[in-house]
C-alpha cells in the first residue's frame, strides 16, 4: 500500500484500525503498562475544528517508556502539543521527546502538555466519549475513553 496517496491522518487512522498492524508490533518481555488517569476532553462549541484533551500518565513499571504519538478513531489528525511562552506570546509546539522514568507521572494539563485532537470525525458534545490511544516507542498502545467535559474531573 502506498500510504503517500492518502492524507496523513487517514493513513494513521487506517493503520490504527488494522489489527494485524498492532499484533506485529514488538512487545516488551515485561508487559507492564503505564496507566492513563483522569482523561478528559474539553468541550468546545459545535463545529470546532480541534479539541484539547488532558490526562495523567503514570509509569509504575520497572522500565522507562517513551510516548511517540497519539491515535484516535474520532479525529483525523490527533497530535501531542506543548504550550510554550515565546517573547510573552503563548504558542503551541509539537511536544518532542516524552520519556517517563520508572515511578514518574506526566501531566497533560491546560497551559502545558496536551493532546490536540484535530479534525473531529463526528460531533462530540459534553457527555460524549472520545476514543484515544497513546503510542509508545516499542509499538504498544495505551487506550482510554476520554469523556467530553466542561472542566477537569
Task: Catalog residues that contact Cu ion under the rule CB under 5 A.
Answer: 81, 92, 116
**Nearer to Cu ion (CB atom), residue 12 or residue 116:** 116
| Minimum gap (Å) between residue 53 Cβ and Cu ion | 10
| Minimum gap (Å) between residue 79 Cβ and Cu ion | 7
Long-range contacts of 125-131 (CB under 8 A, 24+ apart): 125/43, 125/46, 126/43, 126/150, 130/41, 130/51, 130/53, 130/72, 130/74, 130/75, 131/72, 131/73, 131/74
**Nearer to Cu ion (CB atom), residue 81 or residue 140:** 81
| Minimum gap (Å) between residue 123 Cβ and Cu ion | 20
**Nearer to Cu ion (CB atom), residue 54 or residue 65:** 54
SS3 14: helix
| Minimum gap (Å) between residue 113 Cβ and Cu ion | 10
Supply 60's cell numbers: 509504575
**Nearer to Cu ion (CB atom), residue 81 or residue 133:** 81
Amino acid at each position: 500500500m502506498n500510504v503517500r496517496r492518502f492524507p496523513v491522518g487517514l493513513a494513521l487512522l487506517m493503520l490504527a484500525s488494522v489489527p494485524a498492524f498492532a499484533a506485529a508490533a514488538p512487545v516488551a518481555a515485561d508487559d507492564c503498562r503505564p496507566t492513563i488517569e483522569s482523561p478528559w476532553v474539553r468541550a468546545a462549541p459545535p463545529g470546532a475544528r480541534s479539541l484539547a484533551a488532558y490526562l495523567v500518565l503514570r509509569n509504575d513499571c520497572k522500565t522507562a517508556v517513551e510516548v511517540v504519538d497519539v491515535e484516535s478513531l474520532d479525529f483525523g489528525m490527533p497530535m501531542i502539543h506543548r504550550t510554550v511562552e515565546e517573547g510573552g506570546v503563548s504558542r503551541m509546539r509539537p511536544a518532542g521527546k516524552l520519556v517517563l522514568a520508572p515511578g514518574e507521572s506526566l501531566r497533560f494539563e491546560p497551559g502545558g502538555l496536551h493532546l490536540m485532537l484535530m479534525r473531529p470525525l463526528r460531533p462530540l458534545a459534553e457527555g460524549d466519549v472520545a476514543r484515544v490511544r497513546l503510542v509508545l516507542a516499542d509499538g504498544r498502545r495505551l487506550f482510554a475513553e476520554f469523556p467530553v467535559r466542561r472542566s477537569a474531573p
